[in-house]
Amino acid sequence: MLKKALEGILSSQESEELISAFDQIGNIIIVRIPDLLLPKKKLIGEALLKEVKISKSVFYQASPVEGDFRTRNLEILAGEDRTETEYKEFGCRFAVDVANAFFSPRLSTERERIANLIQNGETMVNMFAGVGMFSIMAAKKKKCTVYSIDINPIASKLCEKNIELNNLAGKVISINGDTSKIIDAELQNIADRTLMLLPEKSDEFLDSAIKTTKDGGTIHYYSHIHADKKSDAGKLSEKHYLDVTPVKSEILASKIVRPVGPRYYQTVVDVKISK
């Protein structure tokens, strides 16, 4: 349908490139447009708005996700200039603000995987929680306790709202602030499981993850790995973790979460630590 909508605007090759670079989040579309196609961005926006019937807004992502708050610059191309919407995933409802708090629909498979790993009675520390999607999906399925930390106050407020939106089997506690300081002050040696979903800074925060995790607990360590062969990315991420960790660790699993560039992957290594 999208190819057909873009027929008069883009070549077949340009359409393929564009379609792989847009996300639909509730009634909002976010599209990343190559520089050569920027002169046509308004036409592209109008075509997407017309063809994706439930959409109300189309935004061009004008910058990568960046900064401590993990936000991005968005430019309205068509429809309503409104960045808040509701997103549904695996039976959960989430209020999101695509411009002012971190959120990615491309992590849905990983969110489900983590939720399935958690056991009843566990405590998890989610160190970079955003609007609380990993936290809430875990507590929806299991009678667990999740400390959901984010430095962005808008993300933490949305997490609080999302806790109210969902009927949880467990408990999610939203905390706003610097995750390292919060762990040092309040959350040492409490986590059966620690989630480190900030791949670009995992090395920087590994000591904090170890502090909050119990002896014998599990850390989910995310990183960005360059690999000439896709099949090598998991093992390269294991090697990287073992090179940087200061504690004895047993590798439980590793995998690619998603590609993030040419021969560049977001990976996760699940490790059991011994203090």
- CA 127 to chain CA mean position, Å: 12
- pLDDT value of residue 13: 77
- CA 31 to chain CA mean position, Å: 17
CATH superfamily of 99-274: Vaccinia Virus protein VP39 (3.40.50.150)
Render pLDDT for 233-271 as a digit per residue (tens, 0 to 9): 999 999 999 999 999 999 999 999 999 989 999 999 999
Q: Does position 20 have pLDDT exceeding 70, yes or no?
A: no
pTM (predicted TM-score): 0.93
User: 123 has which bridge partners?
Assistant: 145
Domain with CATH 3.40.50.150 in the chain: 99-274
Using pLDDT thresholds of 50, 70 and 90, give the confidence band for residue 99. very high
The domain at 2-82 falls in which architecture?
Answer: 2-Layer Sandwich (3.30)
Domain with CATH 3.30.300.110 in the chain: 2-82
Confirm if 269 and 221 have CB atoms less than 8 A apart. Answer: yes
Q: Does position 226 have pLDDT exceeding 90, yes or no?
A: yes
Close Cβ partners of 165 (under 8 Å, ≥ 6 residues apart): 93, 94, 95
Confirm if 99 and 71 have CB atoms less than 8 A apart. Answer: yes
- Mean pLDDT of the chain, nearest integer: 94
Average pLDDT over residues 152-157: 98
Q: Does position 12 have pLDDT exceeding 70, yes or no?
A: yes
Which amino acid is present at 39? P
- Tokens 């936000």 belong to residue: 71
Render pLDDT for 174-189 as a digit per residue (tens, 0 to 9): 999 999 999 999 999 9
- pLDDT value of residue 19: 66
CA distance 252 to 270: 5
Residue 265 or residue 103, greater confidence: 265
- pLDDT value of residue 183: 98
Q: What are phi and psi of 229, to 5 degrees?
A: -110, 130
